[in-house]
Structure formats: structure tokens, C-alpha cells
Structure 1
Amino acid sequence: MRTAASVRLVEPEVLGLRRFVRPGDVCFDIGAAYGMYSYSLADLVGPTGVVHSFEPQFKSHFLLRAGKNVAGAQHMTVDRAGVGREQGTFDILLPVKFGLPIHGHAHLADGVTTQHGKSVKSGKFCWTRTIAVPVTTVDKVCADRGIERVDFMKIDVEGFEPSVVQGASSTIERDRPTLLLEIEDRHLSRYDQTAAEFSRMLRDLGYSMHVWKDGDWVPADEVTTDRRNYLFATERTWRRPAV
């Protein structure tokens, strides 16, 4: 994955994981899809660490689990579940265009406030499929699995990121894990959120915001439309020696 990132076949931020993820670390990959980040994280934490991957869509989850087995990554757990602010069963809204599901734009219906999330036909060739999925929280997973420390969390859930952070409040307060988040107004607006509000909330928790640019993490003052991913780290994390 890191080789692919170097030639822009996958997200370039994969190259920057090594700065924050070390052997023995505990990581969460929320919205894991096909494992772009899960496999890289599993490689970095090694057999003494663990990666908890969550992907609610059946096809993506199936391929991720199969890939994990082929790779022999026994220190990687794969759950077919969404992650949010509370535990339960919620609908995923899966856009379908010309008969083809757009898995990359699927999003949880919990808290959707705009008509982007209506589970109805929206045009002759475009509509939305509704799928019920189990949803858990980071804090619940940590309690159930006896996880005493979380070092890194990647969250990419099409605008539902604030809800995931809300459901991880105890873990974040306890561990201050490094966070890599997709933040885009076009997705956050489904939930009546803005990128400026969300990033400010994270900075108020003691995080500084950074973006991957020219092979390094550089400070960022605001969320812009020319990039998707933003890293939030604490001063303590920056003092931690890089591998």
C-alpha cells in the first residue's frame, strides 16, 4: 500500500502513517472499505500490535476479511459493523446509479437532515438503497474487548465522522490517539455539520491539525476543498520519536 501511495494509486497519506504508528500500537480503521489503511497499519504495528477494522457493507467486509486471511494478518480484527455515537441497528443509505451501487458514497442514516439521505427514488437512473446494519461505538468496543490504550484512529465515513468521535469521547479523553479523518463539507452537510465547526471542535480538545504535503505533515489552519484528509495530533504525540 505504501508503494502504491508513492505513485498515487492510493491515498498519499498512507505514506505518513509511519510517523505516528509503531510496533505494538493499537489502531482503529473505521470505514475500512477494502483495507487501504488496514493492511498498512497492520504492517506497521506488527504481531505485537492490533488493528481493529470496521466495515458495514457486505461486499467490502467480505473482501477485507478474505484479504486478511490470505495475508495471515492474525493481529487484525475485521467487524461487519458501522461505528457511531450509540450502539444499535441503523440504516445505511447506498446510492445506486444506472443500476450500479456506489459503495464509496454509502452513509449511515442516523442523524441525516438533508434530502441527500432520503431513501426514495431521486431520478430515473438514480436512487438510494436502504440496508440495516449493526452499529457500535469506539468506547463500547474498548470496554467489551478490554482495550486499555488506543494509539491511532483513521475515520472515513462520509460525513458521519463527528458521530464517531462523539462515541469515542471516553477513549479520546483517556488516550489522546492520533486521528486521521476525512473532512468534507459536501458530506458533513448531510448531518447539519460543517468542516469548520468539526475541525474547531477537535482543536478545542487539544489537537493540532495537519495535512500531508510534499512528503511530510505540515500544519493547517483550515479545511479546504482541495483535499479530503486531515490529521489531528497532540503535542505529546509529536514528541514521540518516529520509527
Structure 2
Amino acid sequence: MEERIRIGDKTYTVSSDDDYLRAMGRDFEPHMVRLFRALIAPDDVVADIGANIGLTAILFSALAKHVHAFEPSPSTFEILDGNLARAGATNAEAINLGLGDKTESQTITFAKNNRSGGYVSSKIRPEAGHITEKIRIETLDGYFADKQLIPNFLKIDVEGFERNVLEGGTEFLRKYKPIVVLEMNHFCLDVLQRITIPDFLDFLRSIFPNLYAVDTDNVTIVDLHVPDDAYFVMHEHVVQHRFPNLVGAFSREIEPKLKKLATKSSMAMNSVQGKAHISVVERLAKTPIFRLARYLRSKLF
């Protein structure tokens, strides 16, 4: 099927063979568009890890100098490649490859009618009717060892496989220090990879000296190196499905970009009179259930 979808400032004809486009509507994730616009500069090189059918890659092609769009599923890759060509995204390269912690062959699984949730996991059996495909996986370190256009911005959305991607790029991260935007999805982490949210955040804090959780309003942005604020994010993410996006960086230069994002977003929402609040636990943190959770944590740990 084909749909006309607005991605950023332009409307594109994109295709897929499932219900993903039908469920999306006519405007592609405006909150993600605002987040990426705040962080990506025209001279940046982007790695879109988990590009799927190419909607984010199309956006990145309009924002950045070059895009490496990684998609491991052979059938999804064909759709990605076609959508990039149709969009005229000549600065975006579709790469039929997954990234992980080692070079290997793996299996990707996705629903027959929605390929947007394709996952790699050895912890769970595919449900009846799901589609499986053999894929190739390499590492960030290995893939970019001999490349000329090195990404300084990574977007990672791989259904719980985010830790594997980063573990395969320790040298890359140390050397190039990119900004990284990645998904946090406690269902995918817990069920598909057996990784808890506290363990996931501990791992990320060990890599990124600057780590933030961004709520879907792009106004509430929380410093995950502040223990109480991080606990608040974990509670809200698991219970209320908030804070799906994390931003990791090696420089504090990320802070003014996030503050500007929060200010613009709050003004657009006509809330908090345009005042950004980073590292502030909201009034929800003062509710009885949160105070009880904090009390129990202090007694248990």
C-alpha cells in the first residue's frame, strides 16, 4: 500500500505492505521530528540504526549531510530502498545489515501485518503467524573501521537490542563521541532481552557522561545522572509508558540544545510559559505512590 505522509516540512509518498502506515496517520511523529531537528545540524552525518521502511531516514536526509540507514530484514530493506529513492533522498544510503555486539547470522521476527516491531531475540519463541528472516549482523566498530563518512549522530531503535548495538561500538564511541538518541521500551528490554530498566540505565550511565530522558512532549527532560530523578523516570516509564526517548552525549554542549527544545515545545503547547525544566522532578513525583516507592527503595537498598 502507498500513503501520503508528512515528514517534517514535506509530504512524501511512501509504501509498505502492512498496517504500519495505516495506523500512523498523515503526520509522522511530530514530537520525534522536533527532537531530531533540535539535535541535528546540516553538516552532520547520521546513522539510522533500525531504519525500517525509511521514514526517519527520509527526515534525516533533509536535516543532515549524509545518512547511513541500517535495516537488517531483506524484505523491509527493499521497501526502505524504494522509499528513499521515491523521496529523492540521494544523500541517504540504505544498508541491508543489522548492528550488534558481534558479527553473526541471526533471525529477525515481525508480525505479518506490521513489520515496524521487528526484533532479534534468543529469549522468546516467535508467535504463530509471525514472519522470520535470516539476517546479517556486524558491529559499529567493524563497519565504520574503513569508512570515510563517519556518523556523529546515532539514532538507535531496535526493539530492545540497543545495548547490543552499543556494546559492539565501544571503540567507535570512545573515538568519535557521537550524540546518541535511542529508544527505551521496557517491554522489549524485559521480555525480549531479559534486561531490566535499572540495569539498562546503569549500562548507559557507564558510557555517557551526559544522559537524559525525554518525554513525548519534549518539555519534560530529566537528567538520568541525578538518582532521584532517574528513579522518577523509571517509575513513570514502567507505569505510565512515559519517557520513551533517551539522549546520550559526551559533551555538555548537548544541554543548551535540549533546553531550547524544551522551551520551544512548551511555548508551542502554551504551557509553563516557555520555561524549560531540565533535572526537575515534576509534581507527579510528590504523589503518595511515588513517595511510597521512594521510601521502599530507601529501605531495600
Q: TM-score range by the shorter chain?
A: 0.7 to 0.9
Matched residue, 1:105: 117
Higher relative CO (CA 8 A, sep ≥ 6), structure 1 or 2?
Answer: 1
Distance 1:78 1:11 in 2: 23
Percent pairwise identity: 24
Matched residue, 2:145: 143
CA, structure 1 residues 75+9, in 2 after alignment: closer, same or farther (shift >3 Å)? closer
State the one-letter code of the partner of 1:24: D
CA shift, 1:17, in A, is 1.2
Report the TM-score when normalising by structure 2: 0.66
CA shift, 1:80, in A, is 1.5
CA shift, 1:101, in A, is 4.0
Matched residue, 2:80: 64
Q: Is the 8 A contact 1:152 1:179 kept in 2?
A: yes
CA, structure 1 residues 234+240, in 2 after alignment: closer, same or farther (shift >3 Å)? farther
Matched residue, 1:182: 183
Please tell me whether Structure 1 or Structure 2 has the larger radius of gyration of its CA atoms: 2
Distance 2:53 2:219 in 1: 25
How is 1:195-234 mapped onto 2 (pairs within 5 angstroms)?
Answer: 195-205=197-207, 206-212=209-215, 214-216=217-219, 218-220=221-223, 221=230, 222-223=233-234, 224-225=237-238, 226-227=241-242, 228-234=244-250
Matched residue, 1:39: 58
Matched residue, 2:266: none
Structure 1 window deviating more from structure 2 (132-141 vs 156-165): it is: 132-141
Matched residue, 2:153: 152
State the one-letter code of the partner of 1:187: C
Distance 1:170 1:181 in 2: 19
- Listed one character per residue, the Cα deviations across residues 111-166 of structure 1 (whole Å, up to 9, x for unaligned) are x23xxx224xx5xxx3443311111221122113234x431111111111110111
State the one-letter code of the partner of 2:85: N
5, 8, 12: which one pairs with 1:2? 8
- Number of aligned residue pairs: give it: 224
Distance 1:132 1:55 in 2: 12
Q: Is the 8 A contact 1:150 1:171 kept in 2?
A: no
State the one-letter code of the partner of 1:2: G
CA, structure 1 residues 230+11, in 2 after alignment: closer, same or farther (shift >3 Å)? farther
Q: Is the 8 A contact 1:94 1:103 kept in 2?
A: yes
Gaps of 5+ in 1: none
Distance 2:110 2:255 in 1: 42
CA shift, 1:56, in A, is 1.8
Distance 1:35 1:79 in 2: 11
Gaps of 5+ in 2: 1-6, 12-23, 224-229, 262-301
Report the 3-state secondary structure (helix = DSSP H, G, I; strand = E; otherwise coil) of the residue aligned with 2:189: helix
- Listed one character per residue, the Cα deviations across residues 15-73 of structure 1 (whole Å, up to 9, x for unaligned) are 1112221112111101111222211111111xxx2110011223432222112222322
How is 1:108-147 mapped onto 2 (pairs within 5 angstroms)?
Answer: 108-109=120-121, 112-113=122-123, 117-119=124-126, 122=127, 126-147=128-149
State the one-letter code of the partner of 2:76: S
Distance 2:220 2:60 in 1: 17
Report the RMSD for the aligned CA atoms in angstroms: 2.6
Matched residue, 1:161: 162
Report the 3-state secondary structure (helix = DSSP H, G, I; strand = E; otherwise coil) of the residue aligned with 1:199: helix
Higher helix proportion (structure 1 or 2): 2
Distance 1:22 1:217 in 2: 23
